[in-house]
Chain A
Amino acid sequence: DQQVKQNSPSLSVQEGRISILNCDYTNSMFDYFLWYKKYPAEGPTFLISISSIKDKNEDGRFTVFLNKSAKHLSLHIVPSQPGDSAVYFCAASEGSGGSNYKLTFGKGTLLTVNP
């Protein structure tokens, strides 16, 4: 049972445009959400996170939105750059609620930003 779902395996956008990556979750105990970026043969690199007490967190070109009632979050990248091309993983944890912050990952979305 996939508790974190990224339903789009791939996304292609033009340089300078907005990239929107989506993520849905089913476990209502999740209260901390993270996005990681991964290049081939490298480990996941932390991008941005959001706590369930917020609905938006922004860091430079990256913004994460959380809709708790819909159990949905999204990552917006504006403007998109060719160097953003990578696999993006959505991850969730029960955080302060227990489970020692272990992460449950989605299957990832391959973002390709075309020059």
Chain B
Amino acid sequence: AAGVIQSPRHLIKEKRETATLKCYPIPRHDTVYWYQQGPGQDPQFLISFYEKMQSDKGSIPDRFSAQQFSDYHSELNMSSLELGDSALYFCASRPAGGGTPYSTDTQYFGPGTRLTVL
């Protein structure tokens, strides 16, 4: 079965640089979520999109922005990177409707992007 694709898998940046993380949801999934997992921490919700509109916002810094495109992929843009932004960033997708092997109540996660800020 198709899975959520995230790119890049690893990213190293310097302080104050910018980074763009990409997420390609499972086909026919129209809701995308972003989570940040710091070292030894649980994943924290950042932001979500449904049908290309922001649907919910969590603890996302103002330096970060995100959007969902017409093909449902999403990008998380991070500017003025700080050391504390070093983390695993997960994208998850969820289908809105039935007719697929995936549950509409469940989020399916990608492999994550490991961001290291030096």
Partner-B contacts on A (CB < 8 A): 4, 32, 34, 36, 41-46, 49, 51, 89, 95, 99-108
Contact = CB atoms under 8 A, between A and B. Distances in A.
B105 A101 contact: yes
Contacts of B56: 99-100, 102
Interface of B: 4, 6, 31, 33, 35, 41-45, 48, 50, 55-56, 58, 90, 92, 94, 103, 105-112, 114
Task: Please list the 7 inter-chain residue pairs (A to B) with the smallest Cβ-Cβ separation, ordered nearest first.
Answer: A43-B109, A105-B42, A100-B55, A100-B56, A44-B109, A43-B111, A102-B45
Contact of A49 (B31, B90, B105): B105
A28 B58 CA distance: 19
A95 B45 contact: no
Contacts of B58: 102
A101 B48 CA distance: 10
Contact of B94 (A89, A101, A104, A105): A101
A95 B56 CA distance: 13
Contacts of B92: 43, 103
Nearest to A43: B109
